[in-house]
Structure 1
Amino acid sequence: MARRAPNQELSEVFNQLWRLDTNRLQPGRDYSICLQGKAGYVAQGSNHARDRARASLFSYVDEEKLHGIDTYAHFINLLDNYETSTGVWERVTSEERMENHLFLDAILETDVMKHAHEYLVREGRSSSDPERFKRQLYDIWFRLYHRGRSGREDSCGFEHVFVGETKLGREIMGLHNWVQFYLQEKHGHVDYKGYKARGNKNTPDEEDHVLTLQFSWKGLVKPLGGSFIGVSPEFEVALFTIVFLMSTEKMTSVLVKVDEYVLELVVYRHGLSIGTSYPKLLSNNNN
């Protein structure tokens, strides 16, 4: 079967976001990773994986930048606001609600989000009013909904994608963000197990900004999970917001070429909110 060609229009939009992402951290300067071994097979439903990586994935991250750049600092403030087990009611305090708004205010000041907003306005997917766009972003990422069987409001797009969740104590869901991965790894909660090679290449580069990882978290194993590495929070929010708003399908899969990477961007809808979103690396055109 012939492989799909990248979506040219979205590739152009996302490459402009990539160029505007001045808060992206640079490998070898702002952070270093150690990929080590290739991830092994994990049987469906199993939480046992052979550890192909004795050391951590992140060997260095410039934390002055993580805490000194506004969008990262406000992003990190949100990571402890959630009950990660599905089925547990999320109580959002006034302080946590304020932290959500401060994060959105910070990313909306960036050129990345301004360009994303301009594109969505041109396409008739968002209002030109900045406050209405902010409310739209709040609904997409922070509106609570029920994911567990209890029917309680136990999840939201931000929690699933960026923080991570556990389902019935049996599986990891989400956790596709490199900052959360690094911080959880630093505190001994994440154990990196290895990487999945991309395309026909046997080993990825340690300067790659997109990786597929295997790891354990909260006593559970995630067999494979795709993540951007080093990119800013605003870049990920902009990218997946655009994919979400450009389609009304339950599941949207878009093939794009961003910088040197050919990616499949996957977004699942949960009503007016994101259910999950993640990148799947198909190839690196520098190979």
Structure 2
Amino acid sequence: MARGPNVNEELSKILNELWKLDSNRLKPGKDYTISLQGKAGFVEYGSNNARDRARAPLFSYVNEDKLRSLETYAHFINLLDNYEMSTGKAEMVTSEELMEERLFLDSIMETEVMKSAHKYLVSKGQSSTDPDRFKTQLYDIWFRLYHRDRSGGADSCGFEHVFVGETRQGREIMGFHNWVQFYLQEKHGNVDYKGYRARDKKDMPDEDDHVLNLQFSWKGLVKPVGSSFIGVSPEFEVALFTIVFLISNDKVTNVIVQVDEYHLEVVVYRYGRSIGTSYPKLLTSNNRPL
């Protein structure tokens, strides 16, 4: 495996172990197909004027039977409609939604990906050996509500920001780094894919890449550049971002890793005991600068 400068070797090793264990990862060209189309142009943050370089959706096909039959995906999808889109509006969590959160955590805890992540975190002194205490730790990191907009009640959590997405003052998209949410919102006409984002004027990504930088609009607001894993399981993302969150007490953690063929920068923002945001930034793929 090629290594670039500043690659965190130890973190790359555990993340590659998780990658190999991710049996629920969907296969490009078989379980889903994407259409990259044109390279998106530059858009300033706060501007909702973006040229559409992609006439067709990003996702041409996704095997929805697989999404429904794989337990972690099914429980993950049940969580996506639990949140207020706009910050500043307090979240009201129902008993049904609490149950959905518990079922999701229970399901990912049964996967080899999360068992391996838990074992690693125990070895680093960052988690208890007790699975129930680890599950409580995951809840605090991902589902505990906090104030993102100080004008109202507790209005956000790590899961909502990273996987669902939210908006601020009706002007900008925040978070929204998950491919399943992107596909479902695109299917329902709420997301309009504008094109891929490449670094400089270098080669375009491949349509079987599992990490993409892209531009899109969501309910009329434009995300100038977003980044997301494509096809990976919910448990892989939760495990990866949880590990990066727990290995550092810094408010912002940026680490360079090599996962499979992808040279990535993983970014995690801390909000107390919880994740403020987290996402991968694709640096290179197949040893090609993007």
Q: Given the alignment of the two structures, is residue 104 of structure 1 paired with residue 101 of structure 2, yes or no?
A: no
Give 1:68's aligned residue.
Answer: 69
Aligned residues: CA RMSD: 1.1
Greater shift, 147-156 or 191-200, is seen at: 191-200
Q: Counterpart of 1:163 in structure 2: which amino acid?
A: V
SS in 2 for 1:282: strand
Q: What are the superposed Cα offsets for residues 129-163 of structure 1, whole Å, 9 maximum, x if unpaired?
A: 00000000000000000101314100000000000
Give 1:29's aligned residue.
Answer: 30
TM-score, normalized by length of structure 1? 0.97
SS in 1 for 2:115: helix
Whether the 8 Å CA contact 1:20–1:112 is kept in 2: the answer is: yes
Whether the 8 Å CA contact 2:205–2:285 is kept in 1: the answer is: no
Q: Given the alignment of the two structures, is residue 238 of structure 1 paired with residue 235 of structure 2, yes or no?
A: no
Q: Given the alignment of the two structures, is residue 194 of structure 1 paired with residue 195 of structure 2, yes or no?
A: yes
Whether the 8 Å CA contact 2:118–2:127 is kept in 1: the answer is: yes
Structure 1 CA distance, aligned partners of 2:115 and 2:190?
Answer: 35
Q: Counterpart of 2:120 in structure 1: which amino acid?
A: Y
Give 2:170's aligned residue.
Answer: 169
Q: Given the alignment of the two structures, is residue 11 of structure 1 paired with residue 9 of structure 2, yes or no?
A: no
Give 1:59's aligned residue.
Answer: 60
Identical residues among aligned pairs (%)? 74
User: Which ranges in structure 1 are unaligned for 5 or more consecutive residues?
Assistant: none
Whether the 8 Å CA contact 2:141–2:275 is kept in 1: the answer is: yes
Whether the 8 Å CA contact 1:199–1:283 is kept in 2: the answer is: no
Q: Counterpart of 1:84 in structure 2: which amino acid?
A: M
Question: Which residues in structure 2 correspond to 1:1-287 (within 5 Å)?
Answer: 4-198=5-199, 201-287=202-288
User: Which ranges in structure 2 are unaligned for 5 or more consecutive residues?
Assistant: none
SS in 2 for 1:169: coil
Structure 2 CA distance, aligned partners of 1:200 and 1:258?
Answer: 24
Whether the 8 Å CA contact 1:256–1:265 is kept in 2: the answer is: yes
Whether the 8 Å CA contact 1:35–1:53 is kept in 2: the answer is: yes
Whether the 8 Å CA contact 2:45–2:223 is kept in 1: the answer is: no
Structure 1 CA distance, aligned partners of 2:280 and 2:114?
Answer: 19
Cα 1:199–1:254 shift into 2, 3 Å: farther
Q: What are the superposed Cα offsets for residues 24-54 of structure 1, whole Å, 9 maximum, x if unpaired?
A: 0000000000000001111232111000000
Structure 2 CA distance, aligned partners of 1:199 and 1:101?
Answer: 43
Q: Counterpart of 1:213 in structure 2: which amino acid?
A: L
TM-score, normalized by length of structure 2? 0.96
SS in 1 for 2:277: strand
Q: What are the superposed Cα offsets for residues 236-274 of structure 1, whole Å, 9 maximum, x if unpaired?
A: 000000000000000000100000000000000000000
Q: Counterpart of 1:249 in structure 2: which amino acid?
A: D
Structure 2 CA distance, aligned partners of 1:220 and 1:88?
Answer: 18
Q: What are the superposed Cα offsets for residues 43-102 of structure 1, whole Å, 9 maximum, x if unpaired?
A: 232111000000000000000001110000000000000001000010000000000000
Structure 1 CA distance, aligned partners of 2:173 and 2:134?
Answer: 31
Q: What are the superposed Cα offsets for residues 85-125 of structure 1, whole Å, 9 maximum, x if unpaired?
A: 00001000000000000000000000000000000000000
Structure 1 CA distance, aligned partners of 2:109 and 2:172?
Answer: 34
Greater shift, 254-263 or 40-49, is seen at: 40-49
Structure 2 CA distance, aligned partners of 1:16 and 1:152?
Answer: 40
Structure 2 CA distance, aligned partners of 1:123 and 1:282?
Answer: 27
Query: What is the aligned residue count?
Result: 285
Structure 1 CA distance, aligned partners of 2:208 and 2:132?
Answer: 37
Structure 1 CA distance, aligned partners of 2:200 and 2:258?
Answer: 14
Greater shift, 36-45 or 217-226, is seen at: 36-45
Q: Counterpart of 1:167 in structure 2: which amino acid?
A: R
